[in-house]
Amino acid sequence: MEVDASDTGVGAILSQMSASDGKLHPCAFFSRRFSPAERNYDVGDRELLAIKLALEERRHWLDGTELPIIIWTDHKNLSYIQSAKRLNSRQSRWALFFSRFHFTITYRPGSKNVKPDALSRQFPATPDSTDPETIIAKPCIIGAVTWELERQIQRALENEPDPAESPGACQYKFKSNLKERFQCLFEGIAKAGNPTPLNEIYTDLYVTEGETGGIIAEHEFREIETTKSSSSEKIIRCDEIFKPEKDRPTRTVMTKGVAGIGKTILTQKFALDWAEDKSNRNIQFTFPLTFRELNLLGGKTYSLVELIHHLFNATKEAGVYRFENYKIVFIFDGLDECRLPLDFNRNEIVTDITESTSVEVLLTNLIRGKLLPSALLWITTRPAAASQIPPEYVDIVTEVKGFNDLQKEEYFRKKIGDEVNANIIIAHIRRSQSLNAMCQIPVFCWITATVLQDVLKSRDGGELPKTMTEMYVHFLVVQTKLNNKKYHGTNETDPHWIPENKELIGSLGKLAFEQLQKGNLIFYESDLRTCGIDIISASIYSGVFTQIFKEEQGLYQDKVFCFVHLSVQEFLAALYVDLIFSNTGINPLEPEELPTQTSKPSSNKYLFFYQKAVDKALLSPNGQLDLFLRFLLGLSLETNQKLLQGLRIQAQSDTKTTEETAEYVKEKIRENPSPEKSINLFHCLNELKDNSLVKEVQQYLNSGSLSSKPLSLSHWSALVFILLSSDEDLDQFDLQKYSPSEEALLRLLPVVKTSKKLRSCNLNEKSCVAVATILSSESTCLRQLDLSNNDLLDSGVRLLSAGLMNPNCKLEVLCLSGCLITCEGCLSLASALSSNPSHLRELDLSYNHPGDLGIKLLTDGVENPQWRLDTVRLDHVGAQWMKAGLQKYACELRLDLNTANKHVLLKENNTKAEVVSQELPYPDHPDRMDLLYGVLCTHGLTGRCYWEVERKGWLSIGVAYKGMERKQTNNESRCGRNDKSWALFSLDNQFSAWHNDEAKSFNAPDSPVPERVAVYLDWYSGTLSFYRVTAETLIHIHTFHTTFTEPVYPIFGFRAYSAMSLCHMSEKSLELQMVPSE
């Protein structure tokens, strides 16, 4: 607002700055003659009056603006009105009016304030003059922001599509085509049997934002078998896949998932929901494509417009060409099947959607955002192929993890229909870890439902299939019976393996085996002819085959084939090798030019055959033959051979061969130093139905004696297998529960890699090399690492920092509390964070001695905008914490005489207690334990505290809230038997941990009695740990994990003839962490 006042009037101009050119543009002006009284005001008041009148005139625009109005005036002293303490009565009235507006007054020389000055001087000097009252028209509004509105309108008109090109003209037909294409699902079997409506059978999949790891250098089934849901994962709904993030828009989404996990069904459901107007109505076109289809266009040239018209004819018929005017989604399904050279470095840049080029160039430019940058892209892939697209072109990565437990149950109930059979099948799957893990895959759920329904219908009290091999053998039998009935008119009781089936299964097996060795999952007519498969027959016998043929789009001269799932291909490959060896004695696994492997010669040709297969699978890269080996060994069981009787010319191996094969597998487990390599061998033992090693380690786990047992390499491997196969949540892996040691960390690396958090581990500086290796791994899931209370020293932190600075490290929280770290260690951490600053957000260095320089280095990092670090914990620091072990937290305790039962005698300055037969003359006290033998300590504890107790006889050692009941005879007064206390019961070498009347028992190796028990409390972390104290070390017994809500008091319980003594600790008590008893 430019304002000025003359002797006769006021003038004002309201201007607005344009965002496009940065210049002020007038949008309204105002002028008015002063009244005779107003003319008598002094100059300052006239100038203030001019501002008041201008604001009053434009009050509808200016009242309550968010940003300040800038008022320009050529009078220097007007700003006092906003800050002066003394005003005259007139000015005070104006000041009240001014308070309604958000404005600043700025001085502008009169030479630059000429326009409002001219407006103010247009009135005659005397009111009785005969001249016209004003030179120009009365106050008026030219029109605020109209120049911006006009430009926007003009741009909108320029970009308005031709009415003939409106999406509404073709959307109806386009959506109808998509509905026809996706509304029915040929589940597992393409174009075989009756289709199922997708909306009826569809079950939500477990889709999360982010990914469990990077490149997986092993068979992807290992990923399925170790995948566990996490409460911290962000779940993504199918219809919200493009929901924008708070801080950035989402253009390209990549969804990863292993073969058969449901990626294709997910995209089909998205397209169907859009076509049915159920979701994403703001999208005008959804173009679902598969790389299988795009492969067939290799070598041809199109513009992007021509490609869309070629693939989706409805857009061409409607004359839609200007796709940049619409909101579009491209779905590219199956990047892992792409055979086009997607070279993002060398492919030419194309920005014009009408320019013709190769399909691969169109794809790379679409993904890079050079073509149709406004379009949304959704790409699905198996994990191993994700690296084909540089990460800078992907905004969000999601992962399909298949069905969780509730979704599995929902699927089977929908699929089976009959409630009784559904309950039987669901219960059976839950009892088998391998089947339950595999049922995360929707295709496997379909196979399982197909098989178990058939078995339930035909069995006579026999067992349901329990292993993978049994399931797939039954599946082959079921499909063969269906084909026989449909194409040959046979009955259920007729032989399954008629000559036509034998020939086809042999040919399919050969195809499966040869393509598996090449790593191919899809193949074309030429591949089938090589294996002697007639194309027409392959299309007819589609029970175990899928044919993809999109005839309605008029695109494909070739047909694309694949097995319904990778596991079916591997099963048929194993069956082929098994049949060839059984019927001819030739081993397809061992070409003549290869030398004999490590297997020992055997008089049993079948045993030697299986040994060679084990050796070859162990040498295969990335576990390529893992699942194949499971099936091959599973086929050696007599139960499976009986089902396949008729395919073989002669009988195969016997029970003795199976047992000797299992022993050979165990030998390989013992020889293999890497538990990771041995995991598949345990699955092989499961297929051979030999679980002896797993049962042995499971007994150690159940008895609580694992940490004290000397474990062999095979035991460690079995433990890894058990943990990765179990339902236990490994997000927060507590190494202490198993064996807190450097050896345990190294042996359990596969488990650690799948965990999100690693708790205290009793490690030293040497262990940091292994931890750094995990942090540097592309496949690690570790996001929170708690190494607190490990004596790592600065040298260990330096080794650990090598992993932290690796670009693969995505660690977000690092706890190094109580690790004997000084300024030197802080220098290593600061250097690592400077190299890799984008992920770590929380660092705990409490209970260390970082020194002033170390503190400054890390607190400066919090202020550094390039570092993500926002929290550094540096409480309880100083030289007093530079002591090894938990003893640094030692505190001196005293037993509270006012709480002692009248049969508990306190001695030696209230540090010892024993049970006596006679009642002691203690006075009554509200805190006294009247009916049960026990005593509490004088102080409530918080923070970190450590104490040791020497025991004699039965003793309970624990902590309790002050409000724990002490007068009742029931469990409310027993430590550990209520929700206000936690306790360890001990007698000789038998221990049990109690809380809220629930117990867990342990047996410890024999040791001299009496012995010491150590207790470590970390109140803020919610942990209470118990240890056996030996001359060399602390042996972990049990740790409670909880959330403490108030100080806890050490408490001891006795039985007849029991006694205890609080051990004197060399460290001073930590007064700041102790709450005095009232």
pLDDT in tens, 98-127: 888 888 888 888 778 888 888 888 887 665
Output DSSP code: residue 387. G
For domain 763-884, the CATH architecture is Alpha-Beta Horseshoe (3.80)
Q: For 756, what's the count of Cα atoms within 13 Å in the CB-facing half-sphere?
A: 14
Output the CA–CA distances (angstroms, integers) from residue 840 to 645, 782, 807, 821, 862, in the order listed: 60, 12, 12, 19, 11
CATH number of 2-150: 3.30.420.10
Query: Cβ distance 258 to 224 under 8 Å?
Result: yes
1022 phi-psi bin (left φ>0, alpha ψ -120 to 50, beta other): left
Q: Which residue has the tokens 């965002």?
A: 19
Asked whether 51 and 3 are in contact (CB, 8 A), the reply is yes
pLDDT of residue 798: 94
Query: What angle (nearest 5°) sits at the alpha carbon of residue 28, between those of residues 26 and 34?
Result: 120
Which residue carries 């190796």 as its tokens? Answer: 1005
d(CA 673, CA 749): 12
Residues with Cβ within 8 Å of residue 57, at least 6 apart in sequence:
12, 30, 139
Q: Which residues contact 207 (CB under 8 A, 6 or more apart)?
A: 235, 236, 237, 238, 255, 266, 398, 399, 400, 401
Q: What pLDDT is attached to residue 529? A: 80
b (16+ CB within 10 A) / e for 297-335: beeeebbbbbbbbbbbbbbbebebbebebbebbbbbbbb
Question: Are 356 and 302 contacting, i.e. CB atoms less than 8 angstroms apart?
Answer: yes
Structure letter (DSSP) for residue 927 = T
- Look-up: residue for tokens 């700025």? 106
The confidence score (pLDDT) of residue 241 equals: 79
Structural domain 166-402, CATH architecture: 3-Layer(aba) Sandwich (3.40)
Q: Tokens 């708690």 identify what position?
A: 786
The closest alpha carbon to 26, from 118, 97, 107, belongs to 118
Spacing of C-alpha 817 from chain mean position: 26
- Please tell me the total number of residues recorded for the chain in this structure: 1078
Tokens standing for residue 428: 């059976």
- What pLDDT sits at residue 261? 82
Sequence-distant (≥ 6) Cβ neighbours of residue 923 within 8 angstroms:
none
Nearest to 916 by CA among 896, 899, 901: 901
DSSP 8-state class, residue 324: G
Instruction: Supply the DSSP symbol for 772.
Output: H
Give the separation between CA 610 and CA 657, rounded to whole angstroms: 9
Kindly calculate the radius of gyration of the chain based on its CA atoms and give it in whole angstroms.
40
Looking at 337-441, list the stretches that DSSP marks H as alpha helix, in order from N- to C-terminal side. 359-368, 405-416, 419-431, 433-438
Backbone angles phi, psi at 571, to 5 degrees: -65, -45
Give the SS3 label for residue 1029. strand
Burial (CB count <10 Å: 0-12, 13-18, 19+), residue 381:
buried
Nearest to 256 by CA among 396, 393, 445, 405: 396
Let me know: does 989 contact 1007? Beta carbons within 8 Å. Answer: yes
Extract the tokens encoding 86: 């003394």
Write down the domain spans for the chain.
2-150, 166-402, 406-466, 499-665, 763-884, 886-1076
Name the pairing type of β-strands 1059-1062 and 184-185: unpaired
Report the half-sphere exposure of 8 (CA within 13 A, side-chain side): 14
Residue whose C-alpha is closest to residue 205's, from 141, 299, 269: 269
Instruction: Give me the pLDDT at residue 416, please.
Output: 86
Half-sphere exposure of 318 (CA within 13 A, CB side): 23
Residue 657 phi/psi, 5° resolution?
-60, -40
Does residue 790 contact residue 758 with C-beta atoms inside 8 Å? no
Q: How many helices (H) and strands (E) does the chain have?
A: 36, 40
Provide the pLDDT for residue 598. 47
Q: Which residues pair with 560 in a beta bridge?
A: 524, 548
Per DSSP, the three-state class of 25 is strand
Neighbour count for residue 161 (Cβ, 10 Å) = 14
The list of the chain residues with pLDDT below 50 reads: 129-135, 137, 141-145, 161, 163-164, 188-193, 213-217, 231, 541-557, 593-601, 1010, 1067-1078
Report the relative pairing of strands 2-5 and 9-17 from DSSP bridges.
antiparallel
The whole-angstrom separation of Cα 224 and Cα 215 is: 14
In the sheet where 904-907 sits, what is the strand order?
904-907, 912-915, 1059-1062, 944-952, 1012-1018, 1023-1029, 1034-1041
Beta-strand runs (E) in 521-661: 522-524, 546-548, 560-562
Distance between CA atoms of residues 1016 and 665, nearest Å: 43
Q: Is 1050 exposed, middle or buried (0-12, 13-18, 19+ CB in 10 A)?
A: buried
Rounded to 5°, the CA angle 230-234-236 comes to: 120
**Which residues are bridge partners to 376 per DSSP?**
329
**CATH H-level superfamily of 886-1076:** SPRY domain (2.60.120.920)
In whole angstroms, what is the distance from residue 420 CA to residue 908 CA? Answer: 69
Amino acid at 766: K
